[in-house]
Amino acid sequence: MNQFSQIILTEDLNQFLIKIEVKYIAFAQLNELLFETSGVVSFFNDVVDFEDFKEYLSNQNVKIDTISRTEFGDFQTNTDLSDKVVRRISSQAQNPTILFEPTFGEGNLLLAGLQEFNSIEKVIGVEIYKPYIWKTKFKILAYYLQNPSKNKPSITLYHESIFDFDLNNLARNTINDKILIIGNPPWVTNAQLTTLESDNLPRKSNFKNNAGLDAMTGKGNFDIGEYITQNLIRNFQNHQGCMAFLVKNIVIKNITFDQKRNNFLIKNLQKYHFDAKKEFNASVEASLFFCEFNSNSEYFCKEVNLDANKPFENTFGWINNKFVAIMEDYEIYANIDGICPFEWR
C-alpha cells in the first residue's frame, strides 16, 4: 500500500507542483513554501516522506489502496454532511480560535470548519491512518490555492492514535482559547476491534467506574466513540467553547444518562437526527451531538432533525431523579407516577 494513494491531485495541485518544480526543490524550502501557501506546519515530516512523494509522482503504476476500513467503524463524513453540520452549529460556536478534530479521517469536517470560521487561529488534528493525513493535507493545499485570501491559521496534523495523544497537555496549553472540537469518531465497540485484531484501542480502563463483576464482564464492553467523547469532555469541560460529534444514538443517551454521576461542566446538550443509512450506508441510528463547555451542569438533551428548521421536538434526560425518554410528556403525567407495591423477584 502506498501512503499517498488517497491523494486527489486536482488540476490546481498539478499546476502548483509543476510551477514550484517539486522534483528539484529542497526539502526545507518546499516545507516553508507549503506552510506559506496552506498553513500546514511541517507538510512533509521528514526527508523520507518527501522522497517517497517524489517517487509517487513519477510512478505511473501506483497501486491504489483498496482496504475497506468500514470494518473498523470508519465511516467517513462526506462533504455535504460536513458542511451541513458546520452550518448547523455556526450560530452557537461563535468565533472559535482553536479547531480540534481528534480523528479527522479524510478531512472533510476539518475543511468545512476552516471555511466557516474566519476566527480560527490554530487547527489541530489527529489521525492514525497515514493515507488520510496526506489526503487531508493536499485538500487543504488545494483549498488555499483556490482561495489565497481566506483566513489561514496554523495547521498541525499528527499521525497518532487519539488513545496515545496527550489530551491533558493540549487542554493545558489551550485553556485561554475558545475551542471548537468537531469530529466523527469510530462507530465500533472495543470488543469488535479486539475481534478484528486491531491495535487501535484505548488502554484497559474502567472508564465508567463500574463496580465488581460489571467491570470484568459484559459492561466492560463499550463504544469507542463514547470513550473518546467522554474523554474529551472530561479534559476540556473547563474551556470556553463547544463540541459537535457524529455518534451513535446510544452514545448520546449514555452520555446524558451518565451526566447525573459525572456532573461534567456542560450545558445545551443537543441531538440532531440524520439518516445514517443514506449518509454512510450504515445500519445504525446516529445523530450529531452538541454541547457547550464551562457552564453549570445540565442533565437533559434536546432532540430535533438535522435538516429541520424549527424548534426542538422533545427533550430526554433527568427529572425528579428519574431518567425519562420524553420530559415534556412526563411532566404532564408525573402526578400518577409512584412506587409499585409489588416487588419483582
Strands 240-248 and 122-127: unpaired
Q: Is residue 44 part of a domain?
A: no
Give a yes or no: residue 35 inside a domain: no
pLDDT recorded at residue 23: 82
Bin 89: left if φ > 0, else alpha if -120 < ψ < 50, else beta. Answer: alpha
Q: What is the model's pLDDT at position 311?
A: 80
In-domain check, residue 13: no
Please report whether residue 280 resides in a domain. Answer: no
Range of the domain at 195: 70-252+263-268
* pTM score of the predicted model: 0.86
**Model confidence pLDDT, tens digit, residues 19-52:** 999 888 999 999 999 999 999 999 999 999 999 9
State which amino acid sits at residue 216.
Answer: M
Distances 189 to 52, 73, 75, 251 between C-alpha atoms, Å = 35, 8, 14, 11
User: What is the reported pLDDT for 301?
Assistant: 97
Residue 69's pLDDT is: 52
For 247-252, what is the mean pLDDT?
Answer: 96
pLDDT per position as a tens digit, 271-285: 999 999 999 888 889
Whether 4 is covered by a domain: the verdict is no
Residue 302 in domain: no
Q: What is the pLDDT of residue 208?
A: 61
In a domain, residue 159? The reply is yes
| Residue 174 belongs to a domain | yes
Write out the three cell numbers for 193: 476491534
What CATH number corresponds to the domain at position 136?
A: 3.40.50.150
- pLDDT digit string, tens, across residues 59-84: 744 444 445 555 445 678 999 999 99
- The mean of the pLDDT values for the chain is 86
Is the per-residue pLDDT at 239 higher than 90?
yes
**Cβ-count burial of 202 within 10 angstroms (0-12 exposed, 13-18 middle, 19+ buried)?**
middle
What's the structural domain count of the chain?
1
Do residues 46 and 105 touch, judged by C-beta distance below 8 A? no
